[in-house]
């Protein structure tokens, strides 16, 4: 695996073929979209009609336990929508589980590299991966304690999985460098931090202050993860620029 940015035969830019590039621009300008073939506004209107007709992405499952039903009923009486908290708990559990897989992929890549700080990087990655797994276990227990099903895929869990696909592709691509993979991990950690902050706010609003200390501890860990990944990313990029 190449772990450096290099100059090569990149043919994507027009400067590689200035004569043909100018001809391409001239042709594009001479061939505007035909009014009979639709426009950007037509596309927007069509998408809008799909939005109006579409069902939502999944649903929060009906609680299968008496405790879950009671939790939902009490929340409704208080004027809250407890299903939102269940949805976000499911999202965070799915995200932490996906985080374990992302770090497993990164560890596999680092293990075959020859970077002089390989052992230190592996130690940090394994530390982060273990804490991501602990967060997943904690969230699963919380969902169960509230009467929910931690194996159910809630709507936000589904969406977060789709959004993470690009990061998975970056980390599992054999051509990507350590710095490029760390950039993807940094994006994941920044999203993770924002997710925990929102979950803490939701739990407080839903009168589940007993959950807040565990969530705050997880947030503190995620903030540490973000710092560690950011430091490793800076190190790798500055070494390349060296």
How far from the centroid of its chain's Cα atoms is residue 155's Cα?
15
**17 pLDDT higher than 80:** no
Residue with tokens 């052992």: 119
What integer pLDDT is reported at residue 80 of this predicted model?
A: 59
**Which CATH superfamily hosts domain 79-241?**
Ferritin, core subunit, four-helix bundle (1.20.1260.10)
Nearest CA to 232 out of 142, 128, 159 is that of 128
Distance CA 211, CA 242 (A): 47
Cβ contact 225:195 at 8 Å: no
What integer pLDDT is reported at residue 77 of this predicted model?
A: 42
The pLDDT confidence band at residue 3, using thresholds 50, 70 and 90, is: low
CA dist 196 to 77, 81, 135, 152, 214, Å? 26, 19, 11, 20, 11
What integer pLDDT is reported at residue 102 of this predicted model?
A: 97
Nearest-Å Rg of the Cα atoms of the chain is 24
pTM more than 0.85:
no
Is 32 in a helix, a strand, or coil? coil
Tokens of 75: 């929340």
What integer pLDDT is reported at residue 34 of this predicted model?
A: 72
Q: What dihedral angle (degrees, nearest 10) is formed by the CA atoms of 134, 140, 141, 145?
A: 160
Where do the structural domains in the chain lie, given as residue ranges?
Answer: 79-241
Q: Is the dihedral of CA 83, 84, 88, 91 positive or negative?
A: positive
**225 pLDDT higher than 90:** yes
pLDDT one-digit tens code per residue, 113-145: 999 999 999 999 999 999 999 999 999 999 999
Q: What dihedral angle (degrees, nearest 10) is formed by the CA atoms of 157, 159, 161, 167?
A: -140
């Amino acid at each position: 695996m190449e772990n450096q940015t290099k100059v090569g035969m990149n043919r994507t830019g027009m400067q590689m073929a200035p004569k043909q590039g100018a001809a391409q621009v001239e042709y594009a300008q001479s061939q505007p979209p035909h009014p009979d073939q639709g426009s950007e506004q037509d596309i927007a209107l069509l998408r809008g009609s799909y939005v109006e007709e579409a069902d939502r992405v999944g649903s929060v499952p009906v609680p299968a336990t008496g405790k879950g039903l009671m939790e939902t009923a009490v929340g409704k009486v208080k004027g809250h929508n407890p299903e939102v908290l269940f949805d976000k708990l499911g999202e965070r559990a799915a995200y932490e589980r996906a985080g374990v897989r992302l770090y497993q992929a990164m560890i596999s890549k680092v293990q075959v590299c020859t970077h002089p700080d390989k052992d230190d990087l592996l130690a940090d990655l394994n530390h982060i991966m273990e804490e991501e797994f602990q967060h997943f276990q904690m969230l699963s227990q919380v969902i169960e304690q509230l009467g929910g099903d931690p194996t159910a895929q809630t709507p936000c869990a589904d969406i977060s999985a789709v959004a993470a696909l690009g990061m998975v592709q970056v980390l599992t691509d054999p051509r990507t460098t350590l710095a490029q993979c760390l950039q993807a991990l940094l994006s994941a950690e920044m999203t993770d931090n924002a997710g925990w902050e929102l979950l803490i706010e939701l739990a407080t609003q839903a009168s589940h202050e007993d959950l807040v200390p565990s969530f705050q501890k997880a947030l503190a860990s995620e903030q540490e993860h973000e710092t560690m990944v950011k430091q490793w990313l800076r190190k790798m990029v500055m070494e390349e620029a060296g």
